[in-house]
Structure 1
């Protein structure tokens, strides 16, 4: 009769393999119970994982759209905040320059000129604002400020109006400088550093995108700078010694600010519509993501009752293995030879 047997080392190795297999299965089933998802998605879907891959691709795309929408919302809010602040500041200042009578003193006129110049510097600084490292009013050149410094702009205008002796001439010269086309040596060449006629486009949902075309070169914002600069030139010594001409120049600048107020409000309203569009896109993205997540979970879900049954079975097998191992460890040669 042929007797088959294995040695002690082989038996120990076999027990180790069985113990490792059961412990691995136990850990896998425990993770499934904790997460609610199956560990072997291929077996769960019987090898047909294409539908799951498509759903996960759509989830990734939807979440990217949502990140884009969040970035666009921050960008739009930054633009809206600047437009609101500029409109509030310039409308109040314009009204005071037009309606407030100046006494016949040069000191009061100088004080008002300094106030206007500070306002000009503030507006330029606001138009050079950025959100998330992207400048708001530079068009596609969002990595650089929209404008040079307020001081540089006023210096250029002082040189442009040198030798003029009437408020009318100064107003016309300032207007021509701001309205000059590219290549004309005016605002677009000297002061503005962004792009013209091209909008920033951001995709915020599938088939939906928003455009940000508001720049510091737009007429509404350019005329704000024009009105402020016209009045601020008094503080730079333009028409020096001609009090009435200087007073007229400041009032003309204030009137320009008031006349431009409606265009600033219209620009703000357009930005508000963009914000509403982005909010709707964010809501649609959230709903789509929730639906896709549910569909993915339904494909990946593990049956808790089946998992619990397998877990109990593996625990019983592991206990039995430990029991057998404990008995084998107590065997003696004398007992075997009896």
Structure 2
């Protein structure tokens, strides 16, 4: 009878190989237990690997939409801050004018005119505000300013009212500057885009229209109301004190009438904010669901992994014990 045996060197290599395999499995199980995820995703999923890839792609896509929506939300929030500043300045100047007595003195008129200039400059600054170096109220033309410098616009307005002799003429001249297609506001005041309002996709098939621009009627109306008093700073040739006082009162009345359109504009912007927030919330929920599904696909059962880990540890200890015994064998021991 022929007996086939394994030589000592071959036996040594077989034992070493087996020990290495057990140690590698032990390392793999330790990693899975620590991370809670399988080490070989493709082997674990088999034919489900394509589904996992789709889930991960969709999650990354949603993440991009959420990031863009948050940027849009910040953009809209800052616009609300600017509009809030406009409302505050409008109310403050209107209050100053309404607190004047019936017979306005020259000093009081001059003070109001100076305050109107400051308010006009501040409002232009509000409408020229930028976020991440992008203009908020210039429509699609975000690289430049929405409005020309307040000083330049007031200089143009002063030239436009230079020949007036009554408060009505002054009012008409200011209105023409702001509203006439060939007026100063159209030709040099507004520097932004005049096309369609900017629309931003929200990633769920909807788009948020940012329907607020510095050339909108409500902002022209507001700026015109302030300018009606601001052009009186330094005096208007041909306009006597009584007519100038009437112009101040007209400015106060126009500031009051500008409140509602400004409020409606802020409300419209608020609805756009809510739309963006709702889309972001929906996408966040979907991304969370996808994350849970992904984890379910590639996660491990801690109890099962711990049980197998213990079995492999025992197996490794057994290998070491057998190796030690085999290495201690000798001919003398065998002959005993």
TM-score normalised by length of structure 1: 0.86
**Relative to 1, partners in 2 of residues 1:313 and 1:237: Cα closer, same or farther, differing over 3 Å?**
same
Higher mean C-alpha deviation, range 310-319 or range 193-202? 310-319
Shift of 1:251: 1.9
- SS for the counterpart of 1:49 is helix
Displacement of 1:89: 2.2
Which residue does 2:191 correspond to in 1? 193
Task: Give the distance between the partners of 1:220 and 1:60, measured in 2 at CA.
Answer: 41
Q: Which residue of structure 2 lines up, in the alignment, with residue 312 of structure 1? A: 310
Give the distance between the partners of 1:261 and 1:231, measured in 2 at CA: 17
In the superposition, relative to structure 1, how do residues 324 and 148 fare at CA in structure 2: closer, same or farther (>3 Å)? farther
Instruction: Tell me the secondary structure at the aligned position of residue 226 of structure 2.
Output: helix
Do the aligned partners of residues 256 and 19 (structure 1) sit closer, same or farther apart at CA in structure 2, a change above 3 Å counting?
farther
Q: How many residues align?
A: 334
Deviation at 1:79, TM superposition (A): 1.8
Counterpart Cα distance in 2 of 1:258 and 1:278:
32
**Runs (4+) off by over 6 Å:** 327-336
Contact 2:93 2:115 in 1 (8 A): no
For the residues of structure 2 that align with 1:237 and 1:324, how far apart are their CA atoms? 109
Tell me, in whole angstroms, the C-alpha distance in 2 between the residues paired with 1:11 and 1:211.
75
Rounded Cα–Cα distance in structure 2 between residues aligned with 1:68 and 1:31: 36
Residue of structure 1 equivalent to 2:214: 216
Give the C-alpha shift of residue 254 in structure 1: 2.0
1:167–1:246 contact (8 Å) kept in structure 2:
yes
CA RMSD of aligned residues (A): 3.0
Q: By how many angstroms is 1:277 displaced?
A: 1.8
Structure 1 Cα separation of the partners of residues 133 and 26 of structure 2: 50
Distance of aligned partners of 1:23 and 1:145 in 2 relative to their CA distance in 1, 3 Å threshold: farther
CA contact (8 A) 1:124 1:149 kept: yes
Distance change >3 Å, CA 148–CA 331, structure 1 → 2 = farther
Matched, 1:178 2:178: yes
1:235 to 227, 233, 236: 233
Counterpart contact for 2:96–2:112, Cα < 8 Å: no
Q: Which 5+ residue runs of structure 2 have no aligned equivalent? A: none
Runs of 5+ consecutive residues of structure 1 not aligned to the other structure: none
By how many angstroms is 1:69 displaced? Answer: 2.4
Task: Please report how far the alpha carbon of residue 232 of structure 1 lies from its aligned counterpart in structure 2 after TM superposition.
Answer: 0.4
Q: 1:249 aligns with which of 240, 247, 257?
A: 247
Corresponding residue of 2:67: 67
1:98: Cα distance to partner?
4.5
Contact 1:140–1:199 under 8 Å retained in 2: yes
SS at match of 1:210: strand
